């Protein structure tokens, strides 16, 4: 169907939601094209996009279309799956609560039970609730760290893990078979409405109990560490402050950023990957003479940390905070005799090398997955059944980690508690977390683990991203900045080449990632973002010292900018 036809069908459909109709009437040609040139799709973290009218937008009709596919998938698994039902949570974004309740009502029309949280909750608690309630699946209404214009729809399986490709395909095939999303209604009978259950404090208490169980130095003196915390207007406010109070930590919330405002008015960005997320928290920290700044994204799966070191606050990257957590957790497990047999850590193909070096030091195996914590969750579930290996940590470079796997997604409240514990533990040794990180560089090698991105929005942007990957495949890079490529991995074709011989890349599903290993110990990866209209470039640059690694990283960034421009 042509774009204009799709637009007119929406504009004139009798079931169109009135506010969306008003929006459609005000659209110009460019806006119409962007809203209808494609159908919004699932990425590495579900379905996510800009709120608004159109097939390429998040709205009540596209949510219903996706939810119909999920409902049909559940129903296809039989009556028992329908009875076990679905846990549903939502964050502070516009329409999240309305979408969540509509999802429950639509599921009820398929005789599927649902358990809907009574108010906003973090993504990790939704993952926890799925397993705690023995549900068949879960739905989280969130756009995670994206700007205020966005919302999204994440799906979870019965293990509390985001749908991996094989399961997602079963849902997507059903979604794509829906011919008229505007014709879908969510009108259960009175009897079917009885399938919708409201949940709340009882799940909170079980989740908090499990989060508090991760502590390794529960009885240490915690009065020596002062923490400034920002939820960035999101769902982490209540769980993090509750857990800190019960654990005995001195936590100072950034009050201006504690309201659940969907416009995020008091922060330049709700994304801990960006410096703007720390500005107000740092003002608090300087005024309060705090040791740590902890910042969570709106749905509380990502967490960033700032550390006071030599009188100034240093913001750690996701790779760096992950490395510090690995060193602290593994060293304490070893010293206490708690390291299990056959321990395994998971990270992704675009996560830096330092964490793996630390794991090696403690005899912990590292397994790589594709980007997206669902792949780590899948591994956790596998070894829970086989007992072949014992999980001790999982993390991504994108500011997300999981300490204990009672959750099967990134869990910022867990990470906040463990970093607070590490901060207190090392302060008793007159060390900051930056001292710990620098010690790891001295011991294991100097790495700069960073990324750049090229923002490419709309239809032209999507085509540009496709052409970047196609061109890189057509003309394989043999060197970058004059340094020889000694190996490449192509997760799109599931091939790799070393010493000129192309071989199958096993153990992964297809994904648009290209990774180059260079003669100087550096690797560089290119992939489209699964959650934003960006082409990302990841760098793990090894140097003879810190200054050398930084200088090399800047040179590689300049060259890669030219290559993908």
Residues with catalytic roles: 144
Residue linked to tokens 């991504």 = 396
Q: Can you read off the two tokens belonging to residue 417?
A: 């508690």
CA distances from 42 to 66, 329, 528, 536, 558 (A): 9, 34, 13, 18, 32
In sign, the C-alpha dihedral spanning 104, 108, 109, 111 is: positive
Distance between alpha carbon 2 and the CA centroid of its chain, in Å?
Answer: 34
Q: Helices in 37-164 by DSSP H: which ranges?
A: 60-75, 79-84, 96-109, 123-132
Q: In the block, which residue shows the tokens 């540009």?
A: 464
Calculated CA dihedral for residues 419, 424, 429, 431, nearest 10 degrees: 50
Find, among 207, 187, 191, 189, the residue nearest to 199 by Cα. 207
410, two tokens: 């990134």
CA within 13 Å, CB half, 322: 31
Residue 199: which of 38, 85, 322, 61 has the closest Cα?
85
Kindly state the DSSP code that residue 257 receives in the 8-state scheme.
G
Q: Is 324 exposed, middle or buried (0-12, 13-18, 19+ CB in 10 A)?
A: buried
Q: DSSP assignment, residue 325? A: H
Contact, 150 vs 51, CB < 8 A? yes
The single-letter DSSP state of residue 340 is: P
CA 348/CA 508 separation, integer angstroms:
11
Cα 297 from Cα 122, distance rounded (Å): 10
What is the biggest distance separating any 2 CA atoms in the chain, rounded to whole angstroms?
Answer: 70
Compute the distance between CA of residue 371 and CA of residue 525 in angstroms, rounded to an integer: 12
């Amino acid at each position: 169907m042509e774009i204009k036809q799709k637009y007119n069908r929406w504009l004139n459909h009798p079931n169109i939601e009135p506010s969306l109709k008003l929006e459609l009437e005000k659209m110009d040609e460019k806006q119409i094209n962007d809203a209808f040139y494609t159908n919004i799709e699932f990425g590495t973290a579900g379905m996510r996009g800009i709120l608004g009218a159109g097939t390429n937008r998040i709205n009540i009709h596209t949510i219903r279309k996706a939810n119909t596919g999920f409902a049909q998938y559940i129903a296809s698994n039989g009556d028992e799956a329908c009875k076990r039902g679905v846990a549903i949570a939502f964050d502070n974004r516009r329409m999240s609560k309305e979408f969540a309740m509509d999802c429950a009502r639509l599921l009820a029309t398929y005789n599927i039970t649902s358990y809907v949280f009574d108010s906003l909750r973090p993504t990790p608690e939704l993952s926890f609730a799925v397993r705690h309630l023995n549900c068949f699946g879960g739905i989280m209404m969130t756009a995670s760290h994206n700007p205020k214009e966005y919302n999204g729809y994440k799906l979870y399986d019965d293990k509390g893990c985001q749908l991996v490709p094989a399961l997602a395909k079963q849902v997507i095939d059903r979604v794509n078979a829906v011919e008229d999303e505007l014709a879908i209604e969510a009108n259960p009978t009175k009897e079917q409405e009885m399938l919708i259950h409201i949940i709340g404090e009882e799940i909170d208490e079980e989740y908090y109990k499990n989060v508090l169980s991760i502590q390794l130095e529960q009885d240490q003196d915690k009065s020596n560490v002062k923490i400034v915390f920002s939820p960035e207007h999101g769902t982490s406010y209540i769980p993090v402050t509750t857990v800190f109070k019960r654990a005995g930590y001195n936590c100072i919330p950034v009050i201006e950023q504690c309201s659940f405002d969907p416009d995020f008015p008091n922060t330049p960005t709700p994304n801990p990957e960006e410096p703007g997320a720390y500005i107000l928290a740092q003002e608090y920290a300087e005024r309060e003479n705090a040791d740590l700044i902890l910042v969570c994204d709106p749905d509380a799966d990502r967490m960033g940390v700032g550390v006071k070191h030599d009188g100034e606050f240093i913001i750690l990257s996701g790779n760096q905070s992950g490395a510090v957590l690995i060193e602290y957790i593994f060293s304490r497990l070893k010293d206490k005799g708690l390291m299990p047999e056959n321990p395994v850590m998971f990270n992704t193909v675009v996560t830096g090398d330092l964490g793996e070096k630390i794991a090696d030091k403690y005899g912990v195996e590292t397994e790589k997955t594709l980007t997206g914590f669902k792949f780590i969750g899948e591994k956790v579930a596998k070894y829970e059944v086989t007992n072949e290996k014992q999980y001790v940590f999982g993390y991504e470079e994108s500011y997300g980690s999981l300490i204990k796997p009672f959750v099967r997604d990134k869990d910022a409240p867990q990470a906040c508690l463990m970093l607070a514990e590490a901060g207190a533990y090392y302060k008793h040794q007159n060390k900051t977390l930056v001292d710990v990180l620098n010690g790891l560089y001295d011991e294991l090698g100097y790495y700069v683990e960073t990324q750049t991105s090229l923002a490419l929005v709309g239809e032209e942007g999507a085509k540009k991203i496709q052409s970047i990957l196609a061109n890189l495949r057509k003309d394989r890079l043999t060197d970058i900045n004059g340094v020889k490529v000694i190996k490449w991995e192509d997760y799109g074709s599931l091939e790799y080449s070393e010493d000129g011989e192309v071989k199958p890349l096993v153990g992964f599903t297809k994904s648009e990632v290209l990774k180059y290993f260079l003669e100087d110990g550096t690797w560089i990866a290119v992939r489209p973002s699964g959650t934003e209209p960006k082409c990302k470039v990841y760098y793990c640059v090894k140097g003879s010292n810190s200054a050398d690694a930084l200088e090399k990283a800047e040179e590689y960034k300049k060259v890669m900018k030219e290559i993908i421009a």
